Amino acid sequence: MPVKPSINDIAALAKRRGFIFNSSDIYGGYGGIYDYGPYGVELVNNLKKAWWYYMVQIRPDIVGLDSSIFMSPEIWKASGHVDGFSDPLAECKECHTRIRVDHILEDLGVFADEKMSSEEINKLFQENIGKIKCPHCKKCNFTEARKFNLLVKSNLGNFSDNWTETPAYLRGETCQGIYVNYLNVMQSSRVKVPFGIAQIGKAFRNEISPRQFIFRTREFEQMEMQYFTHPDNELEEYEKLRKYRWNFFTKFLGFSEKNIRWHQHENLVFYAKEAYDIEYNFPFGFKELEGVHARGNYDLTQHQKGSGKKLDYLDPITKEHYVPHIIESSIGVGRLVLATLTEAYTTIKDDDGERFVLKLHPLIAPIKVAVFPLLKNKPQLVEKAEELYGRLSKKFMCEYDDNGNIGKRYRRQDEIGTPFCITVDFQSLEDNTVTLRERDTTKQTRILIDEIIHTINMEKWS
């Protein structure tokens, strides 16, 4: 029976093997921000490539975009973020731990609507206070609950002292950059409704209680696709998108269906037509991995009002004018990394004790092939192994390792999820064959060097 890893198991492996570090580590860390190390950046890039392939490359109806992090502050006013993008918070007076009041209430089965004022949230909080304990010191002595805006402010372009009153914001979500480029894209790329615009990029939120490792961070990356539809087709397209996104996890990335599920929003914001999240079974239980939402025409009409520019669509055949409705798919890269590591983390107990294997999809694995000379003090083996590394590394991310015995080298590669290890030994010098060892079966086969690329066959997405 595979044992489910704890979040600490994953964080420890991620640090030990160079996937994820605390930001500013040597200065004691920096709350809610993380850095991706040598294997982490490969994993992230591969996940982003997989998403882009699936959402843009093989979709004739979806195009890409890379909009800026800074945008006109008016955008955040029109989108409702300046006035409404806030989380309710209370602080423990004993140990100063801050808690998300809406999350704590939700755990108690009490729903706090996003649109509630600070006073209304605080009233709900006070009504339930008897059941609430500080997650850290377990005491019940809190400040009042108050709402805090999540947008991160900056002084960009403002050289006066009052920049906090008229700040430029770091974007709180990537999709606003898509909405405000809808006209540009439509006029320049011959797309016709229904069509989508996809983008991957950083977002920043002043999260009150960043937690659970990379699950909730203050700086993160989002992969978002906004799909523009005729109002009458919104829900039909929405169902198609839900199916497509479900298949991304189960068929494309190979996640187990046991570990993901749909969660329907019970209380929709007034403009939304339908909203589901895909939840993943993280080490701390099922939580939101991705949102798939039908948003009506709210976003474009808000920007139409805010900018004074007409954002409607003229159907070239029917000549009908309308503001397209939008369905969206939005996922955080960090959450996908965490889900991928959780899914892949496998503990194996055998005669040598306990060991870990990251059973990553080969196309997602940071390193595809590790090349070892059997012995590092035999120049002929080293020369041949180095030459092989030189050949393979032009095709895939490879690693060369001549340190320690072969068993130890296999283990190290298992922990970073490398699907194939190749050992150059004395027989290789005679007949140009090597041993190819597979991570998941630990099976070793002898193959010709010239057949390696064909045998591991990793040049296309499966």
- Give the binding site for ligand ATP (CB under 6 A): 173, 205, 207, 216-217, 220, 222, 288-291, 330-332, 334-335
Compute φ and ψ for 244, nearest 5 degrees.
Answer: -60, -45
Which C-beta is closer to ligand ATP: that of 40 or that of 291?
Answer: 291
Cα–Cα distance for residue pair 66/177, rounded to 1 Å: 8
Identify the burial level of 59 via C-beta atoms within 10 angstroms of its C-beta, where 0-12 means exposed, 13-18 middle and 19 or more buried.
Answer: middle
Which C-beta is closer to ligand ATP: that of 9 or that of 288?
Answer: 288
Tell me how far, at minimum, the Cβ of 175 lies from ligand ATP, in Å.
9
Tell me how far, at minimum, the Cβ of 288 lies from ligand ATP, in Å.
5
Tell me how far, at minimum, the Cβ of 103 lies from ligand ATP, in Å.
8
CA 109 to chain centre: 28
Which C-beta is closer to ligand ATP: that of 66 or that of 315?
Answer: 66
Nearest Cα to Cα of residue 206 among 197, 219, 195: 219
Which C-beta is closer to ligand ATP: that of 17 or that of 216?
Answer: 216
Which C-beta is closer to ligand ATP: that of 289 or that of 367?
Answer: 289
Tell me how far, at minimum, the Cβ of 23 lies from ligand ATP, in Å.
13
Tell me how far, at minimum, the Cβ of 118 lies from ligand ATP, in Å.
18
Tell me how far, at minimum, the Cβ of 269 lies from ligand ATP, in Å.
11
Which C-beta is closer to ligand ATP: that of 222 or that of 435?
Answer: 222
Helix (H) or strand (E) holding 261: strand 260-264
Tell me how far, at minimum, the Cβ of 222 lies from ligand ATP, in Å.
5
Cα–Cα distance for residue pair 418/319, rounded to 1 Å: 55
Cα–Cα distance for residue pair 420/397, rounded to 1 Å: 11
Dihedral of the CA atoms 19, 22, 28, 30 (nearest 10)?
Answer: 160
Tokens 């843009």 found at? 56
Which C-beta is closer to ligand ATP: that of 97 or that of 126?
Answer: 97
Dihedral of the CA atoms 45, 47, 52, 55 (nearest 10)?
Answer: -170
Cα–Cα distance for residue pair 94/100, rounded to 1 Å: 16
Fill in the DSSP letter of residue 317: T
Tell me how far, at minimum, the Cβ of 317 lies from ligand ATP, in Å.
34
Q: Give bridge partners of residue 154 from the DSSP assignment.
A: 168
Compute φ and ψ for 227, nearest 5 degrees.
Answer: -115, 125
Fill in the DSSP letter of residue 449: G
Q: Mind giving me the DSSP string for 341-392? A: HHHHEEEEEETTEEEEEE---TTT-S-SEEEEES-TT-HHHHHHHHHHHHHH
Cα–Cα distance for residue pair 397/418, rounded to 1 Å: 10
Q: Give bridge partners of residue 262 from the DSSP assignment.
A: 278
Cα–Cα distance for residue pair 230/108, rounded to 1 Å: 40
Which C-beta is closer to ligand ATP: that of 91 or that of 290?
Answer: 290
Tell me how far, at minimum, the Cβ of 237 lies from ligand ATP, in Å.
19
Which C-beta is closer to ligand ATP: that of 146 or that of 295?
Answer: 295
Q: Which residues touch 35 (CB under 8 Å, ≥6 apart)?
A: 20, 21, 22, 23, 25
Which C-beta is closer to ligand ATP: that of 79 or that of 413?
Answer: 79
Among left, alpha and beta (phi > 0; psi -120 to 50; other), residue 212 is left
Nearest Cα to Cα of residue 180 among 307, 343, 81, 18: 307
Which C-beta is closer to ligand ATP: that of 171 or that of 384?
Answer: 171
Give percent helix, percent strand, percent coil of the chain, each to the nearest 5: 35, 25, 35
Which C-beta is closer to ligand ATP: that of 291 or that of 324?
Answer: 291
Closest residue to ligand ATP, based on beta-carbon distance: 332
